[in-house]
Amino acid sequence: QVQLQESGPGLVKPSGTLSLTCAVGGASINSGNWWTWVRQPPGKGLEWIGEIYHSGSTNYNPSLKSRVTMSVDESKSLFSLKLTSVTAADTAVYYCARSGSYRFDCWGQGTLVTVSS
């Protein structure tokens, strides 16, 4: 049973950097899957942020690409998200998920990040 757990600050100041990590349990992070970040603003729909492979290869949402960096730490079995120059529009619940075989088959519980001074 794969478990994913997001962690990071729940409050980020405008123009600052949002940093989150996702711990992977019950599966190897280098098991041939991509690892994904998805966000959901309050009361709104899901938005795909991007994904990373254990080798470090990445794919990003074109609308966020200039502000997003993802990384992976195989030794700690976790992957991370950094989003720079945040504004109130980046306030959302951030989910990490496993994108295995072209579907998001396992999700973390999500973590709310609020951008506010």
Instruction: Name the residues that contact another protein, by CB under 8 A.
Output: 36, 38, 45-48, 51, 59-63, 95, 99, 101-105, 107-110
CA geometry: angle 111, 115, 117, nearest 5 deg: 135
Distance in Å, CB of 77 to another protein, minimum: 20
Query: What are the distances in angstroms from CA 115 to CA 46, 66, 105?
Result: 18, 19, 29
Distance in Å, CB of 12 to another protein, minimum: 21
Judged by CB, which is closer to another protein: 17, or 59?
A: 59
Alpha carbon 6 to chain centroid, angstroms: 8
Distance in Å, CB of 85 to another protein, minimum: 20
